[in-house]
Amino acid sequence: MNDCSRFLVLTTIILLYYCFSFSFALDVSYDEKALTIDGERKIIISGSIHYPRSTPEMWPSLIKKAKEGGLNAIETYVFWNAHEPIYRQYDFSENLDLVRFIRAIHDEGLYAILRIGPYVCAEWNYGGFPVWLHNIPGIAFRTNNEVYENEMKNFTTLIVDMVRDEGLFASKGGPIILAQIENEYGNVMWSYGNEGKSYINWCADLAQSFHIGVPWIMCQQSNPPQGMINTCNGWYCDGFHPSSGIPKMWTENWSGWYKGWGQKTPHRTAEDLAFAVARFFQYGGMLQNYYMYHGGTNFGRVSGGPYIATTYDYDAPLDEYGNLNQPKWGHLKQLHLLIRSMEDILTHAVIRNVEYGNMMTVSFIIMTIEPKKLIPLKVQTAGHGLHAFVNGKHVRSQWAKGGRYEFDFESKIKMKNGTNLISLLSVTVGLENYGDHFDEIKNGIHGPVKLMGDNNQVKDLQNSTWTYKVGIHGIDKKKLYMRENRYNRKWELENLPTDRMFVWYQTTFMAPMGDDPVVLDLLGLGKGIAWVNGHNIGRYWPSFFADDNGCDYKCDYRGTYSNSKCLSGCNQSSQRWYHVPRSFLQDDDNLLVLFEEFGGNPANLKIQTVTVGTICANAYEGNKLELSCQGGTISEIKFASYGNPRGSCGSFERGTCESPNTTTIIENACVGKESCVIDASEFTFPNNCKLVGQRLAVEAIC
């Protein structure tokens, strides 16, 4: 081959490489029936996966499992306060790498739906707004306010330009087929009056000014501005009717529900979820998205609410750790394959047959008084917790319960003659994320603060001189959670303190072998924050137990679902296990640091793995059998026999005699729980076997 021929071959190879390396641009539009891609009507079955609630190392596996589950699209919000935590200082690194996440979706051959907002709700701190936004003079959120609109436009433009420059809109060959501006504004627009109407029209004009080449959506927005697609959110959307000429789309099909501190674990059955999906498509639906398909973890202090837990599992088809949540994942997969096989029929026929900065806000309020017999201290607070100190000594702690986050703190205090020092430590557990004017909801101590004594004496301290600090010194200044810091030599190696407030602990541990997800079992600790190798794995509060009423271990999928139905976890810690992603770990020496606020015993801490699939155990008569999914829940009893079963874990077989109701008894005791304990005895499992040495054998699915 001569040089000319070699050159021609090389040129051809290069041209072929470029042809196959870049996807072709897609023409995305819609008619009254469906979204159209290159002129063909499409059925879109999507699932929400939020990139900051997992890690880049997890993204390919999560997306692949979503595709294997029958999805053809992934949806995500964009989180303003995560990307611009400080005014005009941006962060798109690590699990905030939005471009990398969308490319991972594209690599798997799926479409993407980008919900820019930038208000997101999402049980995310402050609804996704950065706290510095609140402090700009003259600002009013989510209304016809020029100051706010300028900031919203700046961030939205940043995201649109970034995504467009990377060629990620379908019109540029990328996977993004839809974009969203604002979020559920129709639910609150009435509160803003005419200014709200002007604002939503401004949002539509802003969106269309970008000319991104794909349609824009507005969820929960009846009578949307011209050019916007209005969509539905909720448990059921089969009865939703979009505006004229717009296809029927469901942007949030709630696959479960989120969990709060002190609350039980909510579940939505696979049967009910599948019924809602099937009925939606039966009644003309063309796009539906599970919220969530993978919920993940609220790492750091990103959870809002307030009082949203660190886990954001959501009873989604992929659990918090990325494992298949069976039977939900498999049940839905079969439905998705059936629906997508009917794409041509469904799209052409009519078928008829529902803290600022989100850190713990710490305010030190200092004053002096000349006391007589003024002894009870009373504080009115909108903070979620309060610790009171007099003259450097802790007198009492109190925190909100029962869904109410304002409370009156009251405690008897002992004071000395002369000058006394009162210090109040206010704790915020996530800022409000939803509702009209949610940004105006008070947090922290707003008073009055009073001293009350004998003979109805009252001393109002509201107008006294106060000083305050914000933040936790060991976190914000000393950074005690880092492996390398100047205070390392001050850690004590002996006399481990337990049941003490405001204590820092650190230890090292070896990473568990294998690839199974890793969790910290923190039962025995009070409340605080945990770091592994400098990564903040979130708030922990294992001492907050759910009450013992309202659990439904015989969950009936029939009838209308709500988040108060099919609960589990009564009288249990609202969150005992805390996810440590494998990418946070090193093979050998891993540093664990805890900031304990309430007081607990770290000696009982355990490093565990979550093994997906089946768990099994057996116990002989007179003993107890314990099953545990270590962070998941028991979803099904695959095998159960009390009598003389044969075989071992994974290969149990029924013997010649057994209690006829074994499976039913085990299901009632275990399904829907993280763990259960059963007595292996004829009292629990009556039978007529008359055998010596009977045993109970159980195999369950997590």
Cβ atoms < 10 Å from Cβ of 86 = 10
Rounded CA separation 639/616 (Å): 9
Q: Are 306 and 361 in contact (CB under 8 A)?
A: no
Rounded CA separation 186/182 (Å): 10
**Ramachandran bin of 565, using left for φ above 0, alpha for ψ from -120 to 50, beta for the remaining angles:** beta
Alpha helical stretches, state H, 498-638 = none
Rounded CA separation 661/651 (Å): 21
Residue 102, both tokens: 């969308």
Residue whose structure tokens are 């002894």: 375
User: What values do phi and psi take at 384, rounded to 5?
Assistant: -95, -10
User: What values do phi and psi take at 357, rounded to 5?
Assistant: 75, 5
CA distances 189 to 142, 221, 343, 411, Å, are 9, 9, 36, 42
Beta bridge partners of 596: 503, 528
Beta bridge partners of 216: 179, 228
Q: Are 26 and 38 in contact (CB under 8 A)?
A: yes
Closest residue by Cα to residue 657 from 647, 679, 642:
642
Contacts of 665 (CB under 8 A, 6+ apart): 640, 659, 678, 684, 685
Rounded CA separation 249/252 (Å): 9
Residue 42, both tokens: 């499409």
What one-letter code names the amino acid at 621?
E
Burial label for 2, CB within 10 Å (0-12, 13-18, 19+), is exposed
- What residue ranges in 70-188 does DSSP mark as E strands? 73-77, 111-117, 176-181
Catalytic residue among 84, 123, 151, 252: 252
Beta strand pairing status for 675-679 and 624-628?
A: antiparallel
Catalytic residue among 149, 184, 320, 596: 184
What one-letter code names the amino acid at 681?
S
Cβ atoms < 10 Å from Cβ of 220 = 19
Closest residue by Cα to residue 429 from 298, 593, 327:
298
Residue 374, both tokens: 């003024």
Burial label for 260, CB within 10 Å (0-12, 13-18, 19+), is buried
Q: Is 252 a catalytic residue?
A: yes
The helix (H) or strand (E) run that includes residue 199 is helix 193-209
Q: Are 316 and 325 in contact (CB under 8 A)?
A: yes
Rounded CA separation 132/134 (Å): 5
Q: Are 48 and 290 in contact (CB under 8 A)?
A: yes
Closest residue by Cα to residue 602 from 510, 524, 502, 521:
524
Contacts of 225 (CB under 8 A, 6+ apart): 200, 201, 203, 204, 205, 218
Rounded CA separation 303/313 (Å): 13
Torsion angle of C-alpha atoms 511, 517, 523, 529, degrees rounded to 10: 80
Q: Is 184 a catalytic residue?
A: yes
Q: Are 421 and 392 in contact (CB under 8 A)?
A: yes
Per-residue burial over 363-381, b if 16 or more Cβ lie within 10 Å, else e, is bebebebebeebbebebbb
Residue whose structure tokens are 């010649």: 656
Residue 136, both tokens: 């700009």
So which residues are the catalytic ones? 184, 252
